[in-house]
Amino acid sequence: MNGQPDAAHRSVREQLGVYALGHGSSDERAAVRAHLDGCAACRAELAGLAPLAARLEHVDADRLDETPAPPPGLGDAVLARIAAEEAHHPVDLAARRRRRTRLLSVATAGGVAAAGFGVGWLVRPVPDPLPLEAVTVEVAEEGISAAADLVPHTWGVEVKLSGTGFAAGVVYRVVVAEEDGAAVPAGEFLGVGPARLDCNLNSSVLREDAVGFEVVDADGTVVLSSAF
Ligand SMILES: [Zn+2]
């Protein structure tokens, strides 16, 4: 391996992830740099890690607190596994060396996977929350309690209805009222009695043309209404 002693080579491989992220003491970093100067294989390994490290640099530190942390102690767990493996299998040196190499590959891959996991949860797109418009709801039937929000989509207004007391098994229809008096269907839902239900009801009426909505039971009775 480029004339480098195996031990130095392996030790550097273990530290490459830390080095790529710009961490480690100045002594450790100097030792890695010195090895890299004379070892093309380790330089190639580092080059493979560099894009990952670069992506981590662009992460907004202010958002770190809002995102879940990678599993704590992952590095320690890998090292413990190596130690346990060696303690339980005192075999000849060559076999031991082969196993060490394999385990260190696992350790390195584990570190890269952990770093990749980090990138995944840090840069995943966070969709903008939809703007919700709370609207007042007038309940016309005893036992029903409900609240509603509107979402102004480009294709029409969505009514997000939450409530309890809609009679179990009854099909309720929702219509959105337009300014000119037209009632446009926005879907149906099934009552579930005292259990809470949350329905998203979509209509083709644009928010600016919608003036209210009604929930109508199977008999055509308006059980609740909302005027925007
Ligand atoms: Zn090397």
Q: Which of 134, 136, 140, 135 is nearest to 224 (CA)?
A: 140
Nearest C-alpha neighbor of 216 from the set 192, 193, 183: 183
Ligand 1 centre from 39 Cα, in Å? 5
Per-residue pLDDT tens over the stretch 105-164:
555 655 555 555 555 555 555 666 678 899 999 999 999 999 999 999 999 999 999 999
Q: How confident is the model at residue 54 (pLDDT cuts 50, 70, 90)?
A: confident
Q: Is the pLDDT reported for residue 172 higher than 70?
A: yes
pLDDT score recorded for residue 22: 83
What is the per-residue pLDDT across 116-131, written as a single tens digit (0 to 9) for each? 555 555 555 566 667 8
Measured in Å, residue 41 CA sits from the centre of ligand 1 at: 6
DSSP 58-107: TS-GGGGGGSPPPPTTHHHHHHHHHHHHHHH----HHHHHHHHHHHHHHH
What pLDDT does 34 receive? 92
Q: How far is the CA of 37 from the centre of ligand 1 (A)?
A: 9
Compute the distance from residue 98 Cα to the ligand 1 centre, in Å: 17
Is pLDDT of 178 > 90?
Answer: yes
Residue length, the chain? Answer: 228
CA 101 / ligand 1 centre spacing (Å): 13
